Amino acid sequence: MSPVVKILSFVCLCAWLLSSECTGRVAAQTLANANLYRPAFHLSPEKNWINDPAGMVYADGKFHLFNQYNPQSDQWGHMSWSHAVSLDLIHWQELPVALAEENGVAIFTGSVVVDAANSSGFGVKGNSPMVAIYTGNSAGLQTQNLAYSNDHGSTWTKYAANPVLDLHLENFRDPMVFWFAPGKHWVMVVSLATQHKVIFYNSPDLKTWTRMSEFGPAGANAVPNWECPNFFPLPVVNQAGTTKWVLELGVGDNGPAAGSATQYFVGDFDGKTFHSENPDNQTLWMDYGADFYAAQSFSGVPASDGRRIAVAWMDNWNYASKLPTSPWRGQVTVPRELTLQRTSAGIRLVQAPVRELESLRQEHVQLRNASWKDLQAMLASRDWPQTLEIDADLQVENTPAEAAQEFGFLLRKGGSYGTRVGFDSTWNTVYVDRMHSGDLLVSQGFNQRHDAPVELANGHLRLHILLDRSSVELFAQNGLATITDLIYPRPFDNVLSAYATGHPPKVVSLDIWTLKAPSTTQSSGLPLR
Ligand code: FRU
């Protein structure tokens, strides 16, 4: 070989090596990005964009969860319903798209009911059909529409005579439908979003709807929207014999943590009209974090179970399109059991992760009647994975009034990075502080601390925290205050520690469990019929 050819071959070889190394790196990086923030125990789509949960229903032994979904990309658009099913609220199997955009009509948020008596006539051969009631969105027009399934939700047929409700309005959406047994009819709650009103309709057959009443704006003028209503009765746990109705609404913007948020009213429903008991139209927030929106709850949960189980989109319209994940964008909260509790301030919603999540617990570390120093030493003594459950009962000792007190847990710490979850005695709040969580998403007001007011119970503070790869859910004071926030920490920041300024609290009890990933999105391998 001539020296010239040798040199040329050498140059070619170098170029090839460089390019293959480069390709390898890119591939590895894409893989890392895909999995870095992929939640271990929260539902996320295998690929593409999701927003609001919709159509949540329990039927034939399975929980069905649909989401606003773009089958074509990881940005909002071409709204359709994705579909996932679960036997246990933990392992989810993603199924093909249930309802797709068609002829310029996108499928916006709505609900699904099991039409047990086949009032709609959609059932074949004595079947109780599943019926979806959704908003059809086309240019300048939102209407309410039906689709049905006679094969347990596997395939759906749009009703030929759609729409079933058309007020010729641009902002008329998100129907939530349920069977009102005392009146033997269906009820729909649907939002006139920009007017801050919901309308209540009834129907014998899901096809013809009669207007009964409306509710709103009930003081909600500082927020741009009311959307995604969810409406249900719940017993008040500490007031035997009392049941109240809860009306939840997404407010679009201007929530307590900036951006999207969910407010609720507690009151009575006589089958026609909802009467709120929130004093002076006081705004009650369901969650004080930035990432809890468009909450819905399962219909059809058997009376033998009796739980009201809610799921929210764990996201915020302020930055949803910018989340640093690929090839998927969007996830939902863990399923939460809702109860009502009478407090000194009035009746309040209380939230707890569903008990099924306990099946993910692996290693268990505990402390009883320990000092803050003991706690710090224990946390420093081992490595922690990125998926944890922390449950602490802390006794706040009396401190001189001037000694401001702040304490809590520092999650995913590394260098000056970390997410603080703690208590601030100056304001009497618990908080999630993601100001220094990471650098990947710093615009749109992402890097903030989010506070929720709490009252200590005889000096006790309970912090119950779920940490997944890209989220923190805090249930404080047994779920009376919750804060839900996304986080995007650096992958190698994995230290868990505890901090305190002023007088630290006593650790009455602390339990930490590492949590395993239940393979949430792709086929779970569970025997689904
Ligand atoms: C709320 C919302 C709903 C609407 C859907 C569209 O997040 O704006 O009101 O149905 O998203 O994707």
Residue whose structure tokens are 């003081």: 219
Which atom of ligand 1 has the smallest separation from the CA of 228? Answer: 9
How far does residue 418's CA lie from ligand 1's centre (Å)? 32
Between the CA of residue 431 and those of 358, 410, 474, what are the distances in Å?
Answer: 24, 12, 9
In DSSP notation, 379-397 reads: HHTS---S-EEEEEEEEPP
Out of 48, 49, 50, 51, mutate this one to test ligand 1's pocket (max ligand atoms within 8 Å of CB): namely: 51
- Closest by Cα among 430, 441, 437, 500 to 465: 430
What's the burial of 17, exposed, middle or buried (CB within 10 Å: 0-12/13-18/19+)?
exposed
The confidence score (pLDDT) of residue 281 equals 78
Ligand 1 in reach of 144 Cβ (< 6 A): no
Ligand 1 in reach of 276 Cβ (< 6 A): no
Residue whose structure tokens are 């207007």: 211
How far does residue 177's CA lie from ligand 1's centre (Å)? 17
Which atom of ligand 1 has the smallest separation from the CA of 317? Answer: 7
Amino acid identity for residue 427 in this structure: W
Ligand 1 in reach of 51 Cβ (< 6 A): yes
Gap between the Cα atoms of 194 and 410, Å rounded: 40
Lookup: tokens for 104: 């310029």
Out of 50, 67, 108, 332, mutate this one to test ligand 1's pocket (max ligand atoms within 8 Å of CB): namely: 108
Which atom of ligand 1 has the smallest separation from the CA of 227? Answer: 9
Ligand 1 in reach of 227 Cβ (< 6 A): yes
Between the CA of residue 331 and those of 44, 315, 327, 526, what are the distances in Å?
Answer: 4, 7, 13, 21
The confidence score (pLDDT) of residue 34 equals 58
Ligand 1 in reach of 314 Cβ (< 6 A): no
Which atom of ligand 1 has the smallest separation from the CA of 54? Answer: 10
Gap between the Cα atoms of 172 and 318, Å rounded: 22
The confidence score (pLDDT) of residue 519 equals 58
Residue 15 has pLDDT above 50, yes or no: no
How far does residue 57's CA lie from ligand 1's centre (Å)? 19
Which atom of ligand 1 has the smallest separation from the CA of 293? Answer: 7
pLDDT tens digits, one per residue of 420-455:
999 999 999 999 999 999 999 877 789 999 999 999
How far does residue 324's CA lie from ligand 1's centre (Å)? 21
Lookup: tokens for 211: 């207007």
Residue 398 has pLDDT above 80, yes or no: no
The pLDDT of 351-377, averaged and rounded, is 98
* The three-state (H, E, C) secondary structure of 139-207, written as one string: CCEEEEEEEEECCCCCCCEECCCCCCEEEEECCCEEEEEEEEHHHCEEEEEEEEHHHCEEEEEEECCCC
Question: What is residue 501's three-state secondary structure?
Answer: strand
Among protein residues, the one whose CA lies closest to atom 9 of ligand 1: 227
pTM for this one? 0.92
Ligand 1 in reach of 294 Cβ (< 6 A): yes
pLDDT tens digits, one per residue of 57-110:
999 999 999 999 999 999 999 999 999 999 999 999 999 999 999 999 999 999
Residue 2 has pLDDT above 90, yes or no: no
Strands (E), 360-488: 361-370, 388-395, 406-414, 417-424, 429-433, 449-453, 460-468, 471-476, 481-486
How far does residue 488's CA lie from ligand 1's centre (Å)? 25
Among protein residues, the one whose CA lies closest to atom 8 of ligand 1: 227
Catalytic pick among 52, 287, 433, 493: 52
Q: Is 52 a catalytic residue?
A: yes
Out of 173, 197, 251, mutate this one to test ligand 1's pocket (max ligand atoms within 8 Å of CB): namely: 173
pLDDT tens digits, one per residue of 496-525:
999 999 889 999 999 999 999 885 544 433
DSSP symbol at 283: P
Out of 171, 192, 227, mutate this one to test ligand 1's pocket (max ligand atoms within 8 Å of CB): namely: 227
Peptide bond into 163 cis (omega under 30): yes
Task: Give the length of the chain.
Answer: 529
Residue 45 has pLDDT above 50, yes or no: yes
pLDDT grade for 529, boundaries at 50, 70 and 90: very low
Gap between the Cα atoms of 343 and 350, Å rounded: 11
Instruction: List the helix and strand counts (H, then E) for the chain.
Output: 2, 34
